[in-house]
Amino acid sequence: MNQIIRFCMSCGEPTQNRTPDGDNRSRAVCGQCGEIHYVNPKIVAGAVAVHEDRVLLCRRAIEPRKNYWTLPAGFMETDETVAEAAQRETREEALGEVRLNGLLSIGDVPHIGQVHMYYLGELVDGVHGVGIESLETRLFTEAEVPWEELAFRTVTETLRHYFSLRSRPGFDATSPGAPYQFTAQWKPAK
Amino acid sequence: MNQIIRFCMSCGEPTQNRTPDGDNRSRAVCGQCGEIHYVNPKIVAGAVAVHEDRVLLCRRAIEPRKNYWTLPAGFMETDETVAEAAQRETREEALGEVRLNGLLSIGDVPHIGQVHMYYLGELVDGVHGVGIESLETRLFTEAEVPWEELAFRTVTETLRHYFSLRSRPGFDATSPGAPYQFTAQWKPAK
């Protein structure tokens, strides 16, 4: 969930929650040096890496959602682009290189302060392997996708959109068009 | 630029920069409680709010780039969607309501750890006014846009893309298609 900032990152003194002058939201403000600490959404970048008619999924070796299947994806870093982050995550989690063809989906996840962005791409030579955060990686046809064992809502929505798009006449894998945009609302676990 | 985290947000003790186990980047790690502090890119969300053949720009009342013209835009907050952030910023900076029609551009700005996302929309009833962070707001035709006085590279790129898109036969303002994606590289000021 969102970070709680109890102490100032600059001087180490305790913060107080208050609305700074000229602002309209409560922030963690340092009681000593006055620094305002903003908490902003994080971008999760990932890829639908396709080889022939199959998509690459990874079974998670780590929490949250350990053992569930996910698209390769993770938190974007500050010195890269969204596309580079999607490629790096595919490399780290699935030991694969992905050639990106365009943005496929954008999922807002406001209750945890995240925005998930998935690219459509081709898995180079179909090569993949088990990265450090994965237990297993595998290429799935549409019929084989373990829908009930997917890790995250945004993964399910993105895969559904991809297969729907792919089934349309004139589908061009190199140009997925306007990204599918959706909001993943909070829903209690079953 | 990117935040420097000298003290732990959870316990207030000094951090050290080191690569945590299982990671491949240096992070600010608390010497006392071991908390790892990640710094991730921030999303700036904004709108190209159109009324008839004009686009809404705001002259900035604050640094950086005070006095320069910008599209209404600002840092996304954690409890909203990208679209809601674009609408909120239009409301705050230009006292206008914008009906969004799709994502127009995504600009990576890796040297400052930001991703700028602009929606295309309609400014409801053409109504706008001077918000607290603006000195002036105004609707500009393409010929009137003060290109040399625009505040940010991503604003220039987004406006150029919009006018180029609009000039194409069959342009549909309610469906801008695949967003224009670009990277704004660091360039020294003139």
The pair phi, psi for residue B163, each rounded to 5°, is -70, -35
Q: Answer yes or no: are the C-beta atoms of A86 and A46 closer than 8 Å.
A: yes
Complex confidence, ipTM: 0.94
Provide mean pLDDT across the span B5-27. Answer: 95
- Shortest CB distance from A14 goes to which of B6, B12, B175? B12
DSSP string, B79-131: TS-HHHHHHHHHHHHH---EEEEEEEEEEEEGGGTEEEEEEEEEEGGG-----
Let me know if residue A137 belongs to a domain. yes
Judged against a pLDDT cut of 50, whether residue A1 lies above it is answered with: no
What's the CA angle centered on A50, arms A44 and A52, to 5 degrees?
175
Antiparallel, parallel or unpaired: β B134-140 and B69-70: unpaired
Considering the domain architecture, whether residues A28 and A61 belong to the same structural domain is answered as: no
Q: Provide the percentage of residues in chain B whose pLDDT is more than 70.
A: 96
Let me know if residue B160 belongs to a domain. yes
The pair phi, psi for residue B48, each rounded to 5°, is -95, 100
Across all residues in chain A, what is the average pLDDT?
Answer: 95
For chain B, positions 103-122, list CB contacts with chain A under 8 A: 103, 106, 108, 110-111, 113, 115
Considering the domain architecture, whether residues B89 and B15 belong to the same structural domain is answered as: no
Cβ-based neighbours of B88, under 8 Å, separated by 6 or more:
B77, B80
Considering the domain architecture, whether residues A163 and A112 belong to the same structural domain is answered as: yes
Burial of A174 (0-12, 13-18, 19+ CB in 10 A): exposed
Considering the domain architecture, whether residues B141 and B50 belong to the same structural domain is answered as: yes
Considering the domain architecture, whether residues B50 and B9 belong to the same structural domain is answered as: no
pLDDT of amino acid B1: 42
Let me know if residue B91 belongs to a domain. yes
How many helical (H) and strand (E) elements, i.e. helices and strands, does chain A have?
Answer: 2, 11
Report chain B residues whose CB lies below 8 A from the CB of A105.
none
A112-122 pLDDT, tens per residue? 999 999 999 99
Q: Answer yes or no: are the C-beta atoms of A84 and A77 closer than 8 Å.
A: no
CA distance A170 to chain B (A): 16
Considering the domain architecture, whether residues B15 and B29 belong to the same structural domain is answered as: yes
Considering the domain architecture, whether residues A165 and A149 belong to the same structural domain is answered as: yes
Confidence band for B188, pLDDT divided at 50, 70 and 90: low
Are residues A6 and B4, on separate chains, in Cβ contact within 8 Å? no
Q: Answer yes or no: are the C-beta atoms of A65 and A134 closer than 8 Å.
A: no
For chain A, positions 127-166, list CB contacts with chain B under 8 A: 132
Report chain B residues whose CB lies below 8 A from the CB of A86.
none
**pTM to 2 decimals?**
0.95
CA distance B55 to chain A (A): 22
Let me know if residue B190 belongs to a domain. no
Dist CA B162 CA B104 (whole Å): 8
Q: Is B83 on the interface with A (CB under 8 A)?
A: yes
Q: Answer yes or no: are the C-beta atoms of A146 and B148 closer than 8 Å.
A: no
Judged against a pLDDT cut of 60, whether residue B72 lies above it is answered with: yes
pLDDT of amino acid A189: 53
Judged against a pLDDT cut of 80, whether residue B187 lies above it is answered with: no
Are residues B75 and A40, on separate chains, in Cβ contact within 8 Å? yes
Mutate to test the interface with B, among A5, A36, A81 (most CBs of B within 10 A): A81
Let me know if residue A147 belongs to a domain. yes
pLDDT of amino acid B189: 53
Of A53, A129, A54, A116, residue with least CA distance to A86: A116
Judged against a pLDDT cut of 80, whether residue A72 lies above it is answered with: yes
CATH number for B156: 3.90.79.10
Report chain A residues whose CB lies below 8 A from the CB of B121.
none
Written as one letter, the residue type at A152 is: F
pLDDT of amino acid A70: 98
Please tell me the total count of domains within chain A.
2
Considering the domain architecture, whether residues B4 and B68 belong to the same structural domain is answered as: no
Q: Is A31 on the interface with B (CB under 8 A)?
A: no
Judged against a pLDDT cut of 50, whether residue B126 lies above it is answered with: yes
Let me know if residue A11 belongs to a domain. yes
* Ramachandran bin of B143, using left for φ above 0, alpha for ψ from -120 to 50, beta for the remaining angles: alpha
Query: What residues make up the domain containing B153?
Result: 42-183
Dist CA B155 CA B71 (whole Å): 6
Considering the domain architecture, whether residues A62 and A146 belong to the same structural domain is answered as: yes
Report chain B residues whose CB lies below 8 A from the CB of A175.
178
Are residues B81 and A175, on separate chains, in Cβ contact within 8 Å? no
Element spanning A160, H or E: helix A153-166
Considering the domain architecture, whether residues B49 and B112 belong to the same structural domain is answered as: yes
Across all residues in chain B, what is the average pLDDT?
Answer: 95
CATH number for A33: 2.20.70.10
Considering the domain architecture, whether residues A85 and A169 belong to the same structural domain is answered as: yes
Let me know if residue A29 belongs to a domain. yes
Considering the domain architecture, whether residues A23 and A56 belong to the same structural domain is answered as: no
Let me know if residue B30 belongs to a domain. yes
- Shortest CB distance from A75 goes to which of B7, B38, B77? B38
* Ramachandran bin of A171, using left for φ above 0, alpha for ψ from -120 to 50, beta for the remaining angles: beta
Are residues A177 and B176, on separate chains, in Cβ contact within 8 Å? no
